[in-house]
Amino acid sequence: MATVAAEHTAFDVSAIRAEFPLLQQETDGKRLVYLDSGATSQKPAAVIEAMDEYYRTYNANVHRGVYKLSEEATARYEESRIKVQRFINARSGKEVILTANATAALNLVAYSWGRANVREGDVVVFTEMEHHSNIVPWQILAQFTGARLEFIHVDDQGYLREDDIARVLELRPKLLAVTAVSNVLGTINPIRELTTRFHEAGAVVVVDASQAAPHMPVDVREWDSDFVAFTGHKMCGPTGIGVLYGKRELLDAMPPFLGGGDMIREVHLDGTRYAALPYKFEAGTPNISGGVGLGVAVDYLTALGMDRVREHERELVGYAMERLVEVPDLRLYGPPGEHHGAALSFTLADIHPHDLAHILDRENIAVRAGHHCAQPLMDRYDIPATTRASFYIYNDREDVDTLVTALHKARQIFQL
């Protein structure tokens, strides 16, 4: 189906939507409006078929067998690694570690690089807008090493506070952990600028790109960040597969995170020699079908063109902001549309987001309600939760209009 995407002369959402089997569902005559791609995206038929083909025609373990099935499985799996390398413009496939998800990738850095390099009294910095997966590993690392945690706070518009950035830079931090795009506020952070400034202060920079890689071009060489993590299931790929990019010189110096099969060169009773990159960090049988599916998802997005994906979503989010402010008592969170990613969070009067999500579900609209694994950010805005509508390549203005109509209906139900 990536071939079909490549044939689109314009960003034809109807044609794209037709390539996603799940989006063909209707309930009570109402088309499914899926607005939760920030949690997980839907999968095009090409990805589903590629994974089915693996299990039906060449299911075997990778990197081990010398028979035909195993060699084909290995070739397909490793092709996906190279596709990811090109997708993010890494220098080498050796810098692409395939993990279970972005959480696993960030924990790999915290446990392997962190415990080898962070010492008591070192300053570890993360931001107030981070997903829990880019907070908790650093808290655990600080508890283990005695490092000191510092935080960059968020202003009322959803931007990182410049005075806080300047303050933590003066502390000569050891590490900065920062999201490229907030999964709640939609804030697009200036990763290249932050990386340059924190490198000058002597810090290693770890970027959570889970909300960036599916939605806009990501060039790890342009960013110059030391580690970049993202996950397959938010970018048209399957669950259970993610990516850690790391600069080769850092990865070479790091000890393994997990020990076992496939990450070794030689094992003897008195010691072990580890495999070269990237396999040193890929212990055990991997998610082979997931790796194959990720490669096809990368093909699909590459065929669409990530610049075009970003432009489509920028225009759509701008339109959504214009329409949503028409709803009385609705409050939007985050910066203006030009600096906004694909996720829009809001509250509606005193309706609890969970109740609002249930009402929207009756209209066959899927949104996320809750703290979005970003409780410190909820504390910052003194709210328990928000409703989040997150857009993707298969959404259009009609979806926005359907959402706005349903929100007006919710106000009527709650007699506002």
pLDDT value of position 195: 98
> pTM of the full predicted structure?
0.96
Joined tokens for residue 59: 């299911």
**Structural domains of the chain, ranges and CATH numbers in brackets:** 2-44+305-413 (3.90.1150.10), 50-302 (3.40.640.10)
pLDDT value of position 3: 42
String of DSSP letters for 113-156? IIHHH--TT-EEEEETT--GGGTHHHHHHHHHH--EEEEE-B-T
Is 391's pLDDT higher than 70?
A: yes
pLDDT value of position 10: 64
Is 303's pLDDT higher than 90?
A: yes
pLDDT digits (tens, 9 = 90+) for 12-50: 999 999 999 999 999 999 999 999 999 999 999 999 999
For the chain, percent of residues with pLDDT exceeding 90: 94
Contact indicator for 324, 340 with CB cutoff of 8 Å: no
Mean confidence (pLDDT) of the chain: 96
Confidence grade of residue 64 (pLDDT, cut at 50, 70, 90)? confident
More confident residue, 339 or 404: 404
pLDDT digits (tens, 9 = 90+) for 213-235: 999 999 999 999 999 999 999 99
- Cα separation, 105 vs 228, in Å, equals 8
Is 1's pLDDT higher than 60?
A: no
Contact indicator for 204, 113 with CB cutoff of 8 Å: yes
Which residues, other chains included, contact 297 with Cβ-Cβ below 8 Å and sequence gap of 6+?
43, 44, 47, 232, 235, 236, 237, 238
pLDDT digits (tens, 9 = 90+) for 73-84: 999 999 999 999
pLDDT value of position 416: 80
pLDDT value of position 36: 98
Is 8's pLDDT higher than 50?
A: no
Catalytic residue among 82, 140, 149, 373: 373
Is 7's pLDDT higher than 90?
A: no
Q: Region 367-390: what's the mean pLDDT?
A: 97
Contact indicator for 273, 264 with CB cutoff of 8 Å: yes
pLDDT value of position 383: 96
pLDDT value of position 11: 84
Is 9's pLDDT higher than 80?
A: no
pLDDT digits (tens, 9 = 90+) for 268-280: 999 999 999 999 9
Burial of 43 (0-12, 13-18, 19+ CB in 10 A): buried
The 3-state secondary structure of 76-102 reads HHHHHHHHHHHHHCCCCHHHEEEECCH
pLDDT digits (tens, 9 = 90+) for 306-364: 999 999 999 999 999 999 999 999 999 999 877 899 999 999 999 999 999 999 999 99
Closest to 102 measured CA to CA, from 196, 210, 245, 27: 210
Residue 191: CA count within 13 A, CB half-sphere: 27
Is 255's pLDDT higher than 60?
A: yes
Q: Region 102-113: what's the mean pLDDT?
A: 98
236 is catalytic: no
pLDDT value of position 339: 82
Confidence grade of residue 63 (pLDDT, cut at 50, 70, 90)? very high
- Cα separation, 320 vs 314, in Å, equals 10
